Amino acid sequence: MPIPSHRITNISEGDQEGWEVYLKAVDMIRSGEDVLMLSIGDHDFSTPVETINAAKKALDDGHTKYTTMQGIPELLTAMAKVSTQAIGMPVPTEEVITVQGGQSGLYAAMQATVNPGDHVIIISPHYVTYPGTVRSAGATFTLVSCLPENGFEPKAEDIEAAIQPNTKAVLINTPNNPTCAIYSRETLEGVADVCIRNDLWLISDEVYWSLSNNMHVSPRSLPGMKDRTIVIMSMSKSHVMTGWRMGWIIAEPEMIHNFMQHNLVNSYGISDFISRAATEALNNAYGVGELSDLFTRRGATFRETLAGTNGVSILNEDGAMYFMIDIRDVTMDAEKFAFELLEKEKLCVMLGDSFGPSAAGHLRISLCQPEEKLRDGANRLKRFVSNYSS
């Protein structure tokens, strides 16, 4: 076969590191073992029935044709309305465009802001696809680490210190996966100041905004940031629609025009019947409040069950649908800990450092399991820690 492009073969270079515990758990499940998975962020229940019914009706009504590159007008109106709520400033329909989920939005944003050979700053710990998304645009990146001591929030001076002559963009995520940090206004003002003074794009992944207990601040709303901030939104987590592939980008109208060109050559627009269902889901906030309450309850159950376990603490309890657990007082070798936890207690968690080196000595657990399983998981972890010798 002819040689594939570097662009494609370079995408995930080395990115599978840190997934060994998860892959082992998957093998154990395949061979019939009863492993409790607290690792992956996909809901343990289906999309709200109202959204499913809206999709069925849209199919019955014949909405099976091409749409437009920006998205159908009803959906853009609904997205603009939700964006206004999320960003905290008016967002007109000219400033939104549909994409196939948040990941597609990240990809498009990177394609639209950096040239091959440019440099991007990724705030880390970070969502696993970020490095590959930057590489796919032919750019290089530097990870700027946030420390647990600072609540995993970035420091402006660290970002500034990582800037190179070819730096074009900073990529942030608030509320954050995996750390659950919800960046404060002060933190974001610091990031904004660096971006403005160095003329950088800010790509702001806000796909978890609705799970922030109303603490979310969007950097797009800060003075001087509107025209340089590209916000990534998604219905995956907020509306329990991971498999539907529906998201959107918020940006200036000129950039929306560029993104239309990107949709033209990439997806040729979003599926019509899914667009109709998404419109209804956004207009009626199907599942949104329930989901936020559910994760708050689940988080409380896990936290209360784990309480009193020596050497273990949970950081950032308000953002997203995960917990980052600090086990540094038990051991710095989280990998050994996690493998033994899997073997002895049949409990699978993610290693913090699979999301970036500054999360070493931490574990990420997902709250995408029913309450009784989370209680069981917390009890297994508690029992394991109390007998652990590193």
Ligand X SMILES: Cc1ncc(COP(=O)(O)O)c(C=O)c1O
Residues that bind ligand X (CB under 6 A): 41, 101-103, 127, 173, 177, 205, 207, 234, 236, 242, 247
Give Cα separations from 77 to 92, 93, 96, 106 (angstroms). Answer: 8, 6, 9, 22
Among the listed residues 187, 184, 195, the one whose alpha carbon sits nearest the alpha carbon of residue 162: 195
Structure-block tokens of residue 337: 């800990």
Instruction: Pick between residue 242 and residue 313 the one whose CB is nearest to ligand X.
Output: 242
Among the listed residues 362, 296, 342, 241, the one whose alpha carbon sits nearest the alpha carbon of residue 26: 342
In order, the DSSP letters of 36-85 are EE----S-SSPPPHHHHHHHHHHHHTT--S---SS--HHHHHHHHHHHHH
Q: Which residue is nearest to ligand X (CB)?
A: 102
Instruction: Pick between residue 167 and residue 176 the one whose CB is nearest to ligand X.
Output: 176
Overall size of the chain counted in residues: 390
CB of 87 to ligand X, least distance (A): 17
> In DSSP terms, which residues pair with 96 in a beta bridge?
250
Please state, in angstroms and rounded to a whole number, the distance separating the CA atoms of residues 105 and 303. 33
CB of 165 to ligand X, least distance (A): 29
Please check whether residue 271 is in contact with residue 324, taking contact to mean a CB–CB distance below 8 angstroms: no
Instruction: Pick between residue 76 and residue 385 the one whose CB is nearest to ligand X.
Output: 76
Instruction: Pick between residue 58 and residue 109 the one whose CB is nearest to ligand X.
Output: 109
Instruction: Pick between residue 109 and residue 312 the one whose CB is nearest to ligand X.
Output: 109
Please state, in angstroms and rounded to a whole number, the distance separating the CA atoms of residues 103 and 107. 6
Instruction: Pick between residue 103 and residue 369 the one whose CB is nearest to ligand X.
Output: 103
CB of 175 to ligand X, least distance (A): 9
